[in-house]
């Protein structure tokens, strides 16, 4: 009798444990530029320390599923300073990214994308301005 009871309760325990472990939380929001409040498409939103990541759509909106325990979301975009936000109980997180203050002075691009100092090349170079 005990064996039948144990065998019948075991599948129920497995189902309960799998639902407890698989709990996720939906987090969404909008990513904008801090200077002019324009939306930023293509911003990578990643849960730090995992491979869970999404990109914002054309309207700068994103939606990501994270474990219900929370974590830290990192927002990164080319030309902008990355930002990290700790997720606690909120389900809507909107972020403004600041432009990075880095500028390129000079880049020499040769065949196959190999970068060299212009003075080290045996041939002439042509500067290309933006």
pLDDT digits (tens, 9 = 90+) for 35-49: 898 999 999 999 998
DSSP 68-109: TT-EEEEEE-TTB--EEEEESS-SB--EEEPBP--------B
- Show the domains of the chain with their CATH numbers: 23-103 (2.60.40.1120)
pLDDT digits (tens, 9 = 90+) for 63-112: 999 888 778 999 999 889 999 999 988 889 999 999 987 665 666 666 66
- Looking at the predicted structure, is the pLDDT value of residue 21 above 60? no
Strands 24-33 and 95-97: parallel
User: What percentage of the chain has pLDDT greater than the value 90?
Assistant: 39
The token duo for 13 is 């325990």
pLDDT digits (tens, 9 = 90+) for 54-69: 999 999 999 999 888 7
- At 93 the pLDDT is 92
**Residue 48: DSSP 8-state:** T
């Amino acid at each position: 009798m005990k064996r039948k009871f144990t065998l019948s309760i075991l599948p129920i325990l497995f189902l309960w444990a799998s639902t407890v472990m698989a709990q996720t939380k939906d987090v969404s929001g909008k990513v904008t530029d801090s200077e002019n409040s324009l939306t930023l498409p293509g911003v990578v939103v990643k849960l730090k320390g995992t491979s869970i990541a999404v990109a914002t759509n054309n309207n700068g909106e994103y939606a990501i599923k994270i474990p219900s325990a929370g974590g830290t979301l990192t927002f990164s975009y080319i030309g902008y300073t990355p930002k990290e936000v700790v997720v606690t109980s909120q389900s809507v997180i909107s972020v403004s990214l600041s432009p990075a203050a880095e500028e390129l002075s000079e880049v020499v691009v040769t065949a196959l994308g190999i970068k060299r100092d212009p003075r080290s090349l045996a041939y002439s170079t042509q500067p290309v301005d933006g």
